[in-house]
């Protein structure tokens, strides 16, 4: 029997005792040793495809070496054992080749022993709003309820078209004063001289020009119209300015969610939007989903679904209230625009407090007191009926 033919070809040139021999001229012991080494190396390749665990102790490592060493000195194989087929998934290694490490999932590699890795949960869906109108109104109105008294220094800018069709822009420094629910005073001037005063109380609103014409215009809230407000060059009525500034409450929600305003996401999924009815008009609110503070408020034309009025609110800061460690916040940058006429009113407010005990004086919200204080000589009643031209005398008609 030619024992040389029993050796795989990859081992025929690896044993020093077999080099250069092709027939029966080599010892039987050398052939048995080479076959034993061949079989042992194949077993190591099949049964140990991965690296030993790094958690093995120092006592286990010498045991592994002893096992590998004892495999080389095991008893010789019989001819029947050498004819066992090699497993199909085991490839003989050639000299100089290395065994590839099996690929593993990086998440499984970092998992703790005995703990089954969990699949990541689904991402939160932005298709549905995170809050209902009732939840938004609750937080919104709670903040508005704490804004009962406001006093702050203001930089006021007004842009409008006068009676002669000229575009005018005025800017001055003054004060922004509020006593809820409907008292407001906004003054602007230069060098401590008042040029403009806009205000209202529970029943009336007024616009005072204390610089050029020394004239005042006054009307009732119940009779206010868009035409009357535009004639003053104002983008909105004084009482509406409070709502556009985001400091008055939202309409109370009902017990039926289907009847409440429907909250939806903006196109960029960053703002919550809903429409609410206020005093017979349709108002659209753009709400910060984290703070429930308004960033934009619009008055909508129901026929065209376009904005008639819009106000942007930016840079929220806390209102200074003595003894309150968590005071409510108010927008310190406010800009109101009337879209058709282009009239704008801009406010930048600073040093905001609740007015303390002496800053919000009663005469600041009293039209008669202001008229005397600012030296107003002429008062125009906006609600008075228009004067009709006098009828022609008899006999004055052309013959």
- 3-state helix/strand/coil string of the chain: CCHHHHCCHHHHCCCHHHCCCCCCCCCHHHHHHHHHHHHHHHHHHHHCCCCCCCCCCCCHHHHHHHHHHHHHCCCCCCHHHHCCCCCCCCCCCCCCCCCCCCCCCHHHHCCCCCCCCCCCCCCCCCCCCCCCHHHHHHHHHHHHHCCCEEEEEEEEEEEEECCCCCEEEEEEEEEEEEECCCEEEEEEEECCEEEEEEEECCCEEEEEECCCCCEEEEEEHHHCCHHHHHHCCCCCCHHHHHHHCCCCCCCCCCCCCCCCCCCEECCCCCCEEEEEEECCEEEEEEECCCCCCEEEEEEEECCCCEEEEEEEEEEEEECECCCCCCCCEEEEEEEEEECCCCCEEEEEEEEEECCCCCCCCHHHHCHHHHHHHCCCCEEEECCCCCCCCCCCCCCCCCC
- What are 348-383's pLDDT values in tens digits? 999 999 998 889 999 999 999 999 999 999 999 999
Q: What is the pLDDT of residue 118?
A: 54
What distances in angstroms separate CA 32 from CA 13, 35, 71, 72, one per listed residue? 15, 5, 14, 12
Q: Which residue has the higher pLDDT, 147 or 160?
A: 147
- Is residue 100 included in any domain, yes or no? no
CA distance 256 to 82: 85
- pLDDT at residue 392, rounded to an integer: 43
Is there a domain that residue 53 lies in? Answer: no
Could you tell me if 354 and 286 lie in one domain? Answer: yes
Q: Of 93, 116, 146, which residue is a domain's last?
A: 93
Q: Give the model's pLDDT for residue 297.
A: 98
- Res 79: pLDDT: 47
User: Do 372 and 242 belong to one domain?
Assistant: yes
Of residues 353 and 73, more confidently modeled: 353
For residue 85, being part of any structural domain is answered with yes
The reported pLDDT for the residue numbered 233 is: 86
Q: How far apart are CA 87 and CA 85, in angstroms?
A: 6
Q: Which pLDDT does position 53 carry in this prediction?
A: 47
Do 154 and 251 belong to one domain? yes
In a domain, 270, yes or no: yes
Average pLDDT, stretch 189-207?
Answer: 93
pLDDT score of 69: 46
Assess whether 181 and 288 both reside in one domain. Answer: yes
More reliable by pLDDT, 217 or 28:
217
Report if residue 105 sits inside a domain: no
Question: Which tens digits make up the pLDDT trace of 316-345?
Answer: 999 999 888 999 999 999 999 999 989 999
Residues 263-294 pLDDT 10s: 999 999 999 999 999 988 999 999 999 999 99
User: Is residue 320 located within the same domain as residue 202?
Assistant: yes
Average pLDDT over residues 187-210: 93
Domain-located, residue 204 = yes
Residue-level pLDDT at 357: 80
**141 and 19 co-located in one domain:** no
Domain membership of residue 208 (yes or no) is yes
Report residue 231's pLDDT band, with 50, 70 and 90 as the boundaries: confident
Q: Could you read off the pLDDT of 104-158 as tens digits, one per residue?
A: 454 444 545 555 555 555 555 556 678 999 999 999 999 999 999 999 999 999 9
Quick one: 83 and 174 in the same domain? no
Domain count within the chain: 2
CATH of the domain at 330: 2.50.20.10
The percent of residues above 70 in pLDDT, for the chain, comes to 64
Separation between Cα atoms, residue 169 and residue 156, nearest integer Å: 11
Q: Which residue has the higher pLDDT, 44 or 189?
A: 189
pLDDT recorded at residue 15: 53
In this structure, the answer to whether residues 197 and 346 fall within a common structural domain is yes
Residues 87 and 149 in one domain: no
pLDDT tens, position by position, 181-191: 999 999 999 98
pLDDT mean across residues, the chain:
78
Residues belonging to the chain: 399
- Check residue 6 and give its pLDDT: 55
User: Residue 388: its pLDDT value, please?
Assistant: 57
- Domain of residue 313 covers 133-381
- pLDDT at position 39 is 58
Same domain, 142 and 87: no
pLDDT-above-90 percentage for the chain: 53
Q: Does 86 share its domain with 137?
A: no
Whether pLDDT at 177 is above 50: yes
Do 85 and 143 lie in a common domain? no
389 occurs within a structural domain: no
* 62, pLDDT greater than 50: no
């Amino acid at each position: 029997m030619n024992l040389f033919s029993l050796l795989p070809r990859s081992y025929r040139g690896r044993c020093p005792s077999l080099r250069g021999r092709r027939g029966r001229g080599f010892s039987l012991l050398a052939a048995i040793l080479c076959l034993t080494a061949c079989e042992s190396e194949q077993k190591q390749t099949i049964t140990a495809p991965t690296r030993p665990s790094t958690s093995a102790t120092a006592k286990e490592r010498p045991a592994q070496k002893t096992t590998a060493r004892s495999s080389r000195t095991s008893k010789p194989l019989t001819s029947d054992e050498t004819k066992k087929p090699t497993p199909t998934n085991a490839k003989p290694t050639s000299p100089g080749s290395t065994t590839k490490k099996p690929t593993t999932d990086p998440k499984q590699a970092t998992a703790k022993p005995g703990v089954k890795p969990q699949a990541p949960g689904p991402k939160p869906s932005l298709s549905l709003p995170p809050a209902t109108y009732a939840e938004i109104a609750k937080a919104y109105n709670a903040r508005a309820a704490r804004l009962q008294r406001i006093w702050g220094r203001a930089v006021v800018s007004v842009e409008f078209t006068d009676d002669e069709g000229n575009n005018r822009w005025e800017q001055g420094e003054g004060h922004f004063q509020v006593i809820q629910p409907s008292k407001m005073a906004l003054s602007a001037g230069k060098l401590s001289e008042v040029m403009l005063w806009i205000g209202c109380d529970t029943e009336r609103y007024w616009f005072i020009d204390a610089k050029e014409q020394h004239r005042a215009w006054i009307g009732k809230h119940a009779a206010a119209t868009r035409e009357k407000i535009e004639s003053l060059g104002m983008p909105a009525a004084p009482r509406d300015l409070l709502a556009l500034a985001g400091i008055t409450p939202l309409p109370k929600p009902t017990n039926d969610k289907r009847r409440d305003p429907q909250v939806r996401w903006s196109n960029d999924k960053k703002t919550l939007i809903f429409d609410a009815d206020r005093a017979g008009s349709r108002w659209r609110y753009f709400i910060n989903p984290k703070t429930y503070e308004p960033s934009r408020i619009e008055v909508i034309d129901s026929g065209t679904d376009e904005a008639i009025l819009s106000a942007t609110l930016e840079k929220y800061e806390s209102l200074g209230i003595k003894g309150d460690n968590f005071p409510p916040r108010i927008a310190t940058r406010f800009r109101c625009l009337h879209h058709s006429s282009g009239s704008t009113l801009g406010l930048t407010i600073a040093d905001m407090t609740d007015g303390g005990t002496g800053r919000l004086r009663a005469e600041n919200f009293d039209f008669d007191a202001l008229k005397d204080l600012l030296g107003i000589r002429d008062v125009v009643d906006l609600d008075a009926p228009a004067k009709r031209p006098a009828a022609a005398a008899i006999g004055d008609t052309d013959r």
